[in-house]
Amino acid sequence: MKKIITLICYSLFFMNVVMTQKNAVGVFEEHQDVGNPILKGNTVYNAADQTYLLSAGGKNIWAKQDQFQFAWQKIKGDFIIKATVQFIGKGVDGHRKLGVMARDKLTTDSKYIDGVFHGGQPLNTSMQYRQIDGDTTGQLIISPVHPTEIEFERDGNTFTFSAATFGENYRVVSKEMNMNEELYVGIFLCSHADTVMEKAVFSNVRIIIPPFKNYKPYKDYIGSHLEVMDVSTGLRKILYSAPNSLQAPNWTPDNKSLLYSSEGLLYKYDLKTGAVSKINTGTADDLNNDHVLSMDGKMLGISNHLGGKSTIFILPTTGSDKPEQITSDTLIPSYLHGWSPDKKRLIFTGLRNKQWDIWAIDIATKKETVLTNDITLDDGSEYTPDGKWIYFNSVRTGAMKIWRMRPDGSNPEQVTFDEYNDWFPHISPDGKWIVYISFSKEIDPTTHPFYQKTYIRLMPLSGGVPKNIAYVYGGQGTINVPSWSPDSKQIAFISNSQIK
């Protein structure tokens, strides 16, 4: 009898879970039509490429009533939601709409605010809002262009909509608006013609819950997504997520694994199976995120804390109980960044003579050679695959910018020149491209900031105008180490959010 009762209870529980989650899709807990349109819409999630296909009818999202398809998540407090968007087909009505929305309720006349992209003529990308239930709609136009990248953020009572065409910087508009503490937040589509069904694809969808106010860097961490991205298209995919801090993925030259650091240890993610395993670093068990593979993938360099100071070790990529110590741990910290192509030297950022410079060390003799000599911070050094240049980032001109120099430290040249702060240049294995991460001009260029809205940028190694290939919430640990795929078509990186 007890077994029968238990089975019935379990069955009822299972039925309840299925019923409450029957419309869950991807990261969203529900999808539905708002406003009872004549043609019923839908949201379909493709797990293979992590995209959302929305189909929708609906008269409009305007005036005093709305009709549209909505995939939503209840979110309490601050959030950021990002997506890459594209209408399918030419469309019928020039005012068909897609975007990201936050609503107090799911009623047709609810107070709401959104970031919206109109899919035809006239060109219109704007923030729309209804300030009280049943009121008319207002808008703030952001630009007369068709974006592909959108971002919608809540910070208290401030809502910000950012939009850009892939490769370009965001254009931004903000509005103060009193909303419920908990909102329905998600992606939407409206055909603007109640007898027409329109479709749109949302990719790179990320719901980001930022850290609490006044969090303490290096103490208060939020969750992490291990991601890969096609650098030509910008299409991203989350491979693995964790509620703690994951940092700095390497892509192994055999194309089998990604390495990353977490809580002082080093882990391997198997690209075929998705399995995660710890790499044996023996007595070096207090690592930071400065770990680098030799270009042939056979050796691994790590930075481990000894006596509170970062010290460089090397070991086979397969692991070792006793890694070989390379730099001294006598009160002089050393942060590894690169191997020479011949595996004879390592380059690192070291505190020597009361300043942070880039140094090289001969692995066999342990002899150190200074490559830069400047009172400001030089960091993030990496050899080109042919060994002819070392790229690095430096704050010597006031902002953090990308530079390069010859392997002996001669002929330093600035590479990036815009208003952003640029970190961690990484050269593609084919020697044609460079990727790096850019922060806003407002941040302190001498720090490694966590949890920021950043761009990952791509530019030809021969020079040219950089373009944004990823719009990422991250920072420290996102792309600190070389992370190109062996075929130079993808990169790996970490993005961040609080994860339940």
Amino acid 5: pLDDT: 35
- For the chain, give every domain's residue range: 25-208, 223-497
Average pLDDT of the segment spanning 6-22: 37
Q: What is the pLDDT confidence band of residue 330, given thresholds at 50, 70 and 90? A: confident
Topology of domain 223-497 in CATH is Neuraminidase (2.120.10)
pLDDT digits (tens, 9 = 90+) for 440-453: 999 999 888 999 99
pLDDT digits (tens, 9 = 90+) for 167-204: 999 999 999 999 999 999 999 999 999 999 999 999 99
Q: What is the pLDDT confidence band of residue 8, given thresholds at 50, 70 and 90? A: very low
Strands, E assignment, 145-256: 149-155, 158-164, 171-176, 182-190, 198-208, 223-230, 236-242, 247-251
Amino acid 364: pLDDT: 97
Give yes or no on whether 25-208 and 223-497 have one common fold. no
3-state secondary structure of 12: helix
Half-sphere CA count of 317, side-chain side, radius 13 A: 19
Judged against a pLDDT cut of 90, whether residue 4 lies above it is answered with no
Amino acid 497: pLDDT: 98
Q: Position of tokens 């595996």?
A: 343
pLDDT digits (tens, 9 = 90+) for 204-246: 999 999 999 999 999 999 999 999 999 999 999 999 999 999 9
Q: Position of tokens 């030809």?
A: 460
Judged against a pLDDT cut of 50, whether residue 29 lies above it is answered with yes
Amino acid 122: pLDDT: 63
The percent of residues in the chain predicted with pLDDT above 70, rounded, is: 95
Judged against a pLDDT cut of 60, whether residue 28 lies above it is answered with yes
Correct CATH for 25-208 of 3.40.50.300, 3.40.109.10, 3.40.190.10, 2.60.120.200 = 2.60.120.200
- For 344-382, the three-class secondary structure string (H helix, E strand, C coil) is CEEEEEEEECCEEEEEEEECCCCCEEECCCCCCCEEEEE
pTM: 0.93
Q: What is the pLDDT confidence band of residue 143, given thresholds at 50, 70 and 90? A: confident
**Dihedral sign (CA 166, 171, 173, 179):** positive
In whole angstroms, what is the distance from residue 474 CA to residue 479 CA? 9
Structure tokens given for 86: 């594209």
The percent of residues in the chain predicted with pLDDT above 90, rounded, is: 89
What average pLDDT is seen over the chain? Answer: 93
CA gyration radius for the chain? 25
pLDDT digits (tens, 9 = 90+) for 451-495: 999 999 999 999 999 999 999 999 999 999 999 999 999 999 999
Instruction: Write the DSSP assignment of 124-168 as a string of letters.
Output: -EEEEEESSTTPPPEEEEEESS--SEEEEEEETTEEEEEEE-TBS
3-state secondary structure of 13: helix
Residues sharing a CB contact under 8 Å with residue 90, sequence separation 6 or more, in sequence order: 120
Amino acid 146: pLDDT: 82
Amino acid 22: pLDDT: 63
- Backbone φ and ψ for 215, nearest 5 degrees, come out as -65, 160
Residues sharing a CB contact under 8 Å with residue 308, sequence separation 6 or more, in sequence order: none
In this predicted model, which residue has the larger pLDDT, 473 or 23? 473
Amino acid 415: pLDDT: 97
Average pLDDT of the segment spanning 378-389: 98
Judged against a pLDDT cut of 90, whether residue 120 lies above it is answered with no
Question: Which of 70-84, 109-123, 293-307, 387-401 is predicted with the least confidence, judged by mean pLDDT?
Answer: 109-123
DSSP state of 287: B
Amino acid 9: pLDDT: 38
Judged against a pLDDT cut of 50, whether residue 10 lies above it is answered with no
Give the residue from 151, 149, 112 showing the smallest Cα distance to 128. Answer: 112
